[in-house]
Amino acid sequence: MTGHKTTLLWLQSAGCGGCTMSMMCAEAPGMFDTFDDFGIELLWHPTLSEASADEVTGLLADIVEGRRHLDILCFEGSVVRGPNGTGRFHMLAGTGRPMLNWVRDLAARARYTVVVGTCAAFGGITSAGSNPSDACGLHYDGDLEGGALGVAFRSGSGLPVINVAGCPAHPGWVMETLMMLAENSLGEGDLDRFGRPRFFADHLVHHGCSRNEFYEFKASAEQLSEMGCMMEHLGCLGTQAHADCNTRPWNGGGSCTSGGYPCINCTAPEFEEPGRSFTETPKFGGVPIGLPTDMPKAWFIALASLSKAATPSRLRVNARADRIVQPPAVKDTARR
């Protein structure tokens, strides 16, 4: 490893801290080993560091006033602007100053600004419903550019805010982004139009979903826990959601769809307000609203009705069961 250290400051605001809890699940290598191996020096992290209170406020002042160099600012949780634009719904403890002001000052000093989680990216769950705290993301307010830092914001490197979205973000997404930044190999072309790293956002949750055979034949689950495809009835957005959840495991081997519940498209702006219940699919004339990404509607309807007509009994039966009731036929080896 080179002698140059990449400094990292992590702040949390109006979120749940779950992206850090998720990051601590990084494995092979683990989180701290990754930091060591890529020369990432943690200046401070609210969950992990020894320093508390005045030891921290001194560091923040040093960065803002240019006495301490900051390579990466990671921000977790929405930024709250309420009440009435003051940001006083989160005054950073010990400072008497809104986090809204701190993040603007610190982002202006950082070479890269990295958002961890959908709250900090777009507002996320904290901005759901009546959005009581007037929460938004760092560079977006829902799907509108702007957010707490404003449309024109660029980090010292010239990059926009890097949105490692997800609720929570997968530990791999965070680790890989930080590793790439530590070796300066992540450029603007590596981000999608919402600033999400393309290495995970160019995939769909549908890719590698264990229910793909059910999807192919439109053999659908009607109740949570059933094995069939959850798109038709249970609100699953896996065919539209940008993430690689089913080609890289969560917590050793899981994903939402393998856990028996639908994808809610948590890497997307405004996932928190789907305009319906999260676990049911609205339909128009019997056709689910919200077609698979890049799929022409007429073709979807034609293929769906064809495949429904051709659904093998095994899939029809298993789709409505919570375990394999009818196993695949074992072929007679003499008839290969």
Partner 1 sequence: MTEQPRRIIAGPFNRVEGDLEIRLDIDGGQVVRAEANSPLFRGFERILEGKNPLDAMTIVPRICGICSVSQSVAAARALAAASGLRPPPNGELAQAVIHAAENIADHLTHFHVFFMADFARPFYQGRSWHADAVRLFKAERGEAVRAAIQARAELLHIMGLLAGKWPHTLSVQPGGTTRAPDARDRIRLLAIVRRFRQWLEQHLFGDRLDVIAALGSAGDLDAWHRAGTGGFLRLFLTIADDLGLAALGKGPPRFLSYGAYPRDGGHLLAPGILEDGRRWPLETARIAEDLSHSWMLGDTLHPARGRTVPDEEMASGYSWCKAPRLAGRSMEVGALARLVLDDRPLARALLTDGRGNVRARVVARLVEIAITTLAMEEWIKAMVPGQPFITPLELPDTAEAEGLTEAARGALGHWLRIEKGRIASYQIIAPTTWNFSPRDVRGEPGPVEAALVGAPVQPGETTPVAVQHVVRSFDPCMVCTVH
Q: Cα separation of 206 and 219, whole Å?
A: 15
- Binders of partner 1 among residues 25 to 44 (CB under 8 A) are 25-27, 30-33, 42, 44
Query: Residue 199, interface with partner 1 (CB under 8 A)?
Result: no
Q: Does 192 bind partner 1 (CB under 8 A)?
A: no
Does residue 182 touch partner 1 according to CB under 8 A? no
CA distance 87 to 105: 14
CB of 140 to partner 1, least distance (A): 18
Say which residue the tokens 């969560």 belong to: 250
Please state the closest distance from residue 256 (CB atom) to partner 1, in A: 5
Closer CB to partner 1, 41 or 216, in the complex: 41
**Contact residue for partner 1 among 108, 128, 144, 180 (CB under 8 A):** 128
Residue 320: both structure tokens together: 């409505």
Stretch that binds partner 1, among 126-134, 195-203, 206-214, 310-318 (CB under 8 A): 126-134
* Sole binder of partner 1 in the list 37, 61, 65, 83 (CB under 8 A): 83
Which of residues 12 and 155 has its CB atom nearest to partner 1 in the complex? 12
User: 41: which residues sit within 8 A by CB, 6+ positions away?
Assistant: 5, 6, 7, 8, 35
Closest to partner 1 by CB, 80 or 178: 80
Answer for which of 2, 54, 294, 333 binds partner 1 (CB under 8 A) is 54
Q: What is the smallest separation between the CB atom of 317 and partner 1, expressed in angstroms?
A: 15
The piece of 192-200, 205-213, 276-284, 297-305 that touches partner 1 (CB under 8 A) is 276-284
Report the site for partner 1 in 278-317 (rule: CB under 8 A): 278-279
Cα 150 to the chain's mean position, in Å?
Answer: 21
C-alpha angle 202/204/207, rounded to 5°? 120
Report the chain's terminal Cα–Cα distance, integer Å.
55
Measured CA to CA, the distance from residue 98 to residue 91 in angstroms comes to 4
219-258: which residues touch partner 1 (CB under 8 A)? 223-225, 245, 249-258
Is 191 a binding residue for partner 1 by CB under 8 A? The answer is: no
Question: Which residue from 218, 40, 300 is spatially nearest to 290, judged by alpha carbons?
Answer: 300
Name which position in 158, 187, 259, 328 contacts partner 1 (CB under 8 A).
259
Q: Is 22 in the site for partner 1 (CB under 8 A)?
A: yes
Q: Rounded CA gap, 5 and 8, in Å?
A: 9
Longest dimension (CA), the chain: 79
- Residue closer to partner 1, measured from CB, 199 or 278: 278
Segment contacting partner 1 (CB under 8 A): 62-70, 212-220, 311-319, 322-330?
A: 322-330
Question: What is the per-residue burial (b if ≥16 Cβ within 10 Å, else e) of 77-113?
Answer: bbbbbbeeeebebbbbeeeeebbbbbbbebbebbbbb
Measured from the Cβ of residue 209, the count of other Cβ atoms closer than 10 Å reads 25
- Tokens read off for 266: 């948590």
Q: Does 53 bind partner 1 (CB under 8 A)?
A: yes
